[in-house]
Structure 1
C-alpha cells in the first residue's frame, strides 16, 4: 500500500483579503540588464546570492490556487520572498520577507508564518534569466540559489501590500506547463506539489 501523501490544509479564497496600504515599491533597476549588473556587484561583495520564496495555497471553486504578487506596471508574477542577508537563517529570513511583502504595518497584526518543508531548489549559473532545478555539473560558482518553501496559511488573514502591487490567486491548471506566461519556476510548481494532498477545509 502506498504511503499517505503529506496533507496541506487549504481554506477558501474568500477567507483572505488584502489592503494596498504600504508605500509603492520603488524599482531599483530601470532596464533588463540592471538587476544582473546589481547582482554582479553584490556577488563581488558577498558571494552567491541566496533567496527564499513561499508557496501560499488557497482554494476557489474546489481547485487549488496559488497566491502570487503581480507588478501592476509590467504584469510580472512572483512568489512572495526575496534575498537573504549574509548568514541569515532560511526560515527566519523567509518569515522576514513574507512580513515585508504581505505583513501588516502594525507589529501586533503580523501573521504568524508557519513554514513547512522545502519544495524546490533552483540555481542560477550565470548573471542572466535562466535558472535550473539543479546546478549544472560544470558550474563551480553559481550566482544564485533560490529555495522555495511551503507556507501553511491560517484559516483567515488580511494581508497588506504596496500600492503598486496586487495579490492575485492563480489556479494551478493555469500555471501548469505555462512557461511562456509564468516562467520556468512558477510553471513547474504544480508538478512539485503533486506529492501533497490538499485538504479543502470548509467551515459552515
Structure 2
C-alpha cells in the first residue's frame, strides 16, 4: 500500500494576524486585467504565475486561507513571476508581499511544498483549463498552485484593503459559482494528502 504524503495542519488560533498598508490592485476589473495581460504578453511572452495553498484547521477540519477583495472576489496569495524568476523564490517573494510584516523579525518561514495543480489560459479570456488544449501552441498564462507547509505559529500582516478568510474545504468543493474553477477544485487536488490535525492540547503535553 502506498502511503499518502502527510500535511500537518495547526489550529487557526495558533496564528496571529495584523494589518499593514493597503496593496493597490493594478486592475479594477477583469477587462482591465486581461488588457494588462495582453500588453505584458507582447513585451515578455507567456505570463507565469504561482499561488500558495495555506492550510489551517478548525474543529479538525482543513481550511484554506484566501484573500478577499471587496465583498465578493477571493483569491489565493501569490502572483506573477518576473521574467526568468525561479518559481519557488518567486512564490516566497509574492507570499511575503501579500502576507508578511514589513519587519524582518516577523517574516514567516515559507516552506514551499508540492506543486498540486497547473492551469493554462489559452487566450486572453477569463477561462482557464487544467491542461493545455493541443491546438494552442502559444498559451497566454501558466499558473501553478503549490502547497505551503506552515509552521505551528506565524504572524501574518494583511493589507488593509484586503480580508484574510479561512474557508473550509467543504465550502470550496464544487462551488464554481462562488470561487471559480481553480479554487473550487482544490479539495480534489488535496485528496491525495493525509491531514495531520495537530491541536494546541497535543502541543502542550
Aligned counterparts of 1:74 and 1:48: Cα–Cα separation in 2: 30
Query: Could you list the per-position Cα deviations for residues 181-201 of structure 1 after superposition, in whole angstroms to 9, with x for gaps in the alignment?
Result: 000000000000000000011
Gap change, CA 1:30 and 1:55, over 3 Å in 2: closer
1:47 equivalent in alignment to 2:8: no
1:2-25 CA-to-partner distances (Å, cap 9, x unmatched) read 2110000010011112112x2212
Moved over 6 A (4+): none
The runs of 5 or more residues in structure 1 that have no matched partner are none
* Cα-to-partner distance string for 1:67-96 (whole Å, 9 max, x where unaligned): 11111x242111100000000000000000
Give, in angstroms, the shift of residue 104 of structure 1: 1.0
CA contact (8 A) 2:106 2:155 kept: no
CA distance in 2, matches of 1:125, 1:163: 34
Question: Could you say which residue in structure 2 is the equivalent of 1:167?
Answer: 164
**Any gaps of 5 or more consecutive residues in structure 2?**
none
Please point out which of 24, 27, 31 is paired with 1:26. 24
For residues 79 and 39 of structure 1, what CA distance do their matches in structure 2 show?
A: 18
| More deviation, 164-173/30-39 | 30-39
Residue 128 of structure 2: SS of its match in structure 1? coil
Q: Distance in 1 between matches of 2:56 and 2:164?
A: 12
TM-score, with length taken from structure 1? 0.96
CA–CA separation in structure 2 for the residues paired with 1:50 and 1:185: 15
SS of residue matched to 2:189: helix
Distance 1:114 1:44, change over 3 A: same
**Number of residue equivalences:** 201
Q: Work out the CA distance in 2 between the residues paired with 1:32 and 1:83.
A: 16
State whether structure 2 residue 116 is matched by structure 1 residue 119: yes
Moved more, 24-33 or 118-127: 24-33
Paired with 1:102 and 1:142, the residues of 2 have a C-alpha distance of 30
Find the partner of 2:155 among 154, 158, 163: 158
State whether structure 2 residue 91 is matched by structure 1 residue 78: no
Hey, what does 1:106 align to over in structure 2? 103
1:188 has 2:185 as partner: yes
